[in-house]
Amino acid sequence: MTDLTYSRIEVDDDGLHDCARGDHCAARTTTVEAGQRITVPAQTYRALCDADRTHVLNCLDELPGLYSELRARIGDKSRSDGPRVSGGGKTAPVILNLAVDALLRHINTVVLSWDERVRVVAGFSDLAAATTDTATTTGCVLLARHVDTLLGLPAEPMSRRRDLTQAEHLPLDATGLVHPEAGWVEYNTNLTGADAGLELLALHHRCLRMLGHTPQHHDLITPCWECDERSLRRHDGTAGLADHVECMRCREQYLGSRLSALMVEEEQAQLRKRDREAQQEGQRRQVLHSSVAGFGGRP
């Protein structure tokens, strides 16, 4: 959850402003000035730039499937002494993964609350579904179909919950109740369409992390130009591969023209690697053929 709201985004005379994702904007540009890395979000007339709008649509498309996968894992153990829920009588106790359960409930809260706001603005009837699971899927479909309405929502009070361990990150305008025994706080805060996009992107990322779908970082085989170690990495994040490469040892960063030159060198290194592997495979086959021939053609 973020405390960014659309009303806090600085807008110029033409109506242009930074994409609400800030430094995490998918269409951001990065330059180096006086040795400092400077990231500039894409300029847009909407809450999110076109690239991040598309990213929100993709997340809404994937959320129902991730929700179902999480639901299937509700019984996975998070630890050996995890909480047990018994059906009573002689029924065997069931291990309940509270972390998965909490995330499922959070998905319901986020999706259905934004679904309600979009339905009010668009003049649609209230969502009707037999189960919460079906309602969540239906909500994702509606939000995807009306994503521009969603991202254009003005600030309105909405209810959210947060673990007490993260209470220091509450929005500045938050008001609500603290439940110390339960370990969470329920609060109200003004949220906009920009917050909707940020919440859904963060929710999608939490699902991937919970399910173990880790980012696919790209490790280069080209040595770092500064420390000469093979420790260059291009990070994979929620916006795709980063627009820079970083040395995991000396922390040297490659951006702009240096990044382009580095990737050309990396492509050449990968071609040489494939050539060596093909040559080694050819030699291995030749040795195997010679060995078979030495036994009269019988393996």
Q: What pTM value is reported for the model?
A: 0.66
Same-domain check for residues 147 and 233: no
Q: Are residues 112 and 249 in the same domain?
A: no
Give the domain extent around 242. Answer: 218-274
Of 140, 141, 137, 143, nearest to 71 (Cα)? 137
CA angle 200, 201, 207 (to 5 degrees): 85
Concatenate the DSSP letters of all residues of 194-262 into one string. Answer: HHHHHHHHHHHHHHHHHHT-----EE-SSPPTTT--S-EEE-EETTEE-SSEEETTT--EE-HHHHHHH
| Same domain as 138, residue 65 | yes
Tens of pLDDT along the chain (299 residues) come to 333 334 445 555 578 999 999 988 989 887 777 767 788 999 999 999 999 999 999 999 999 999 999 999 887 655 433 333 434 444 444 456 888 999 999 999 999 999 999 999 999 999 998 899 999 999 999 999 999 999 999 999 999 998 888 888 888 888 999 888 888 889 999 999 999 999 999 999 999 988 988 667 889 999 999 888 899 998 876 556 777 898 988 888 898 889 899 999 999 999 999 988 888 887 777 766 665 455 444 44
234 plus 132 within the same structural domain: no
Domain count, the chain: 2
Same-domain pairing of 253 and 202: no
What's the longest Cα–Cα distance across the chain?
87
